[in-house]
Amino acid sequence: MDEAVDPLFAQAVALNRAGRGRDARSVIDRVLALRPDHAGALHLAGVIAFHAGDPATAARRFEAARAAAPDQILYHIDLGAALESLARDDLAARVYQTLVARFPGHAEGWRRRGRLYRRIGLNAVAGLAHAVRIEPNDPGSRSLLADAVAVRGVNRHQAEDRQGAAHLYRLAIALDPAQPLPYNNLGMLLQAAGASEPADQAFRRALRINPLLSEIYLNRGGLLRDRGRPAAALAFARAAAVLSPERAGCWNNLANAWRDQGSVDAAATLYQRAGRADPGYRHALSNLLLCLIALPGTTPQALAAAHRDWGRRFAPPAPRVGFGNNRDPERPLRIALLSPDFRNHSCAAFIEPLLCGRDPARLHITAFADVRAPDAVTARLRARADAWRDIAGVDDRGLIDLARGDAIDITVDLAGHTAGNRLAAFGRGLAPVQVSWLGYPTTTGVAAIGWRVTDAIADPSGDADRDHSETLLRLPGGFLAYAPPVAAPEPGARRDGGPLRLASFNALSKLNAPLLALWARVLAALPAATLLLKARGLDDPAARAHVAGLATAAGIPIARLELRGWLSARDDHLTAYNSVDIALDPGPYNGTTTTCEALWMGVPVVSLRGDRHAARVGASLLHRVGCADLIAETPDDYVGRVVALAADPDRRRHLRQALRPAMAASPLCDATRFGRDFADALRHAWRAWCRDPTGLPPGA
């Protein structure tokens, strides 16, 4: 039999090497008809099937080859690869575990297992360290080990792990300095540690080695974005998309870059393209929802429908079952606040009043902090909470286990669809009652989140109820409490003697053509006034030129436009308000922190009440501090109120000194009242669950 089989098998091997896979497959079929257990033929049949785009057949052939010749290492490796391509990571992990147990001295087996473990979130450090011990001079093993150590360092907030990973990357580079990926990965590690200039050097070195790797363009573009250089970030994101148009991440990053420069409509189109490239890319589609909030042409009904569609696709309804929480409706409640923003972030100024103002006898609050880089604000908030959980790097299953292990009664999502959100975990159920609050200005669309904290100004009864997947909990004193910055500079009268200065210190992503046209109307009615836009990225000349082009296209004379970059020092940023006479609230995506800061510095803010929560935040804040006369109902009214305020310097001088004490005494800064109102709202939601602990949340 072998006399007939061996020549045929050799012929098949030769045909396959010559690139004639179809002919090779015909010969292999003849071999297997003669010898169904021919391990080499089974393996070659699997190779041919894999390269033909049929990993399922390949996996079956590789499994048969492995059974026929279990001592052939390659058969184990190729079976694992085929299973990975089929997304059968559980089976692939078993194959690689068998491989390293059977051949513990074979480094490639440990590398394969390590790559898979790292990708699926398991600890890969020990196995990859074993691969390095077997082949200490292999740069690939050291680089993979560095990746695993770096991930562990981020997840555990361990600086020594990050330092160890950096050392391993440098060793890999020393062993083979012609490889770009160790430089790229070192750059990512240094960026995460806040060493932006060394990170940039690493990315540049990687690009010199291989200027055609889209991944490096993606990562350097992200670094440039973090460094406040949106135009340069845009160029690198565009290059990544050209190099890898099939990668959804490239289109997502390009959209981010356009949004950072104020071109939200262009960004929305690119997020949609990312979604087409990968329909399962939920983060890009969350970014699209953020764009829709800022686009003036989006109706509240369309916005609600888009969010509900996201919820159906990525967080489908799940019954509220499996919770053994004590159903006493009046007992103290265990609350989890879940956020990536327990840090130096605008949300922290609204989280802190809740932590300070709640009654510990009513609410026990655990902070579930998804924070990759803790800072001084993190430490301060940690001291305010009753308990603290670091969840950075914890997957959804682990997060659910953590919340249930802590017997949490109510989880409160503070992120919505913003970066770092965990909405998919909320969809699976973290606690009997789930609530949305603070960090996102509309419905989440997630049916398992039954409630949303708001107020009657931001979300009046009627249409707002229909436009939310959640049931609305309206707080009587407003849906926010604000913690003013500690030791803020005093409001000061303008001393520069210049013309009336209007200003917006909001992110460029809140700009749009109708808004700029409205501001152009204001300037036309005040011929001597100037408009100051201060935002992150505007110290980039190319970004300034882009925004200036948007403004002039809307009718704002370039000579009357001032553009300033962001000021990182808090006192410098707040002091900049002393050069401003009137702040202009953007729409339809109002400011929140910027409005509070302007008022605290004695600068009146004029806001146009819109048709959705994001466009009514300004009205809610101004109402709470007794400035309802600064709320406009129509664009004409907006222009008129700014003009009237511009014509009344005595009132502006009075507000400069009176706004801070008025705000300090208002419901907006009353943490105790807010804590009481918030606890009452959560109690209402809790009682509803106690009455009916089965089925879906209200509004689902």
User: Is pLDDT of 319 > 80?
Assistant: no
Per-residue pLDDT band for 465 (boundaries 50, 70, 90) equals very high
Q: What domains are there in the chain, each with its CATH number?
A: 2-206 (1.25.40.10), 212-295 (1.25.40.10), 333-481+677-691 (3.40.50.11380), 501-669 (3.40.50.2000)
pLDDT tens for each residue of 600-616: 999 999 999 999 999 99
Amino acid at 255: A
State how far the Cα of 698 lies from the Cα of 695, in Å rounded to an integer.
9
CB 162 within 8 A of CB 193: yes
Between 317 and 253, the higher pLDDT residue: 253
Which pTM does this prediction carry? Answer: 0.84
pLDDT tens for each residue of 163-193: 777 777 787 788 889 989 889 988 988 888 7
Amino acid at 84: E
pLDDT tens for each residue of 251-296: 999 999 999 999 999 999 999 999 999 999 999 999 999 999 999 9
Average pLDDT of the segment spanning 129-138 = 85
Q: Name the least confident of 148-162, 326-340, 449-463.
A: 148-162
Per-residue pLDDT band for 145 (boundaries 50, 70, 90) equals confident
CB 359 within 8 A of CB 351: no
What is the structure's pLDDT at 153? 52
State how far the Cα of 331 lies from the Cα of 592, in Å rounded to an integer.
34
User: Is pLDDT of 244 > 80?
Assistant: yes
pLDDT tens for each residue of 327-355: 999 999 999 999 999 999 999 999 999 99
Average pLDDT in the chain: 92
Which long-range contacts link 686-693 to residues 24+ away (Cβ below 8 Å)? 686/329, 686/333, 686/409, 686/410, 686/433, 687/329, 688/433, 689/320, 689/327, 689/432, 689/433, 690/327, 690/328, 690/329, 691/329, 693/320, 693/323, 693/327, 693/432
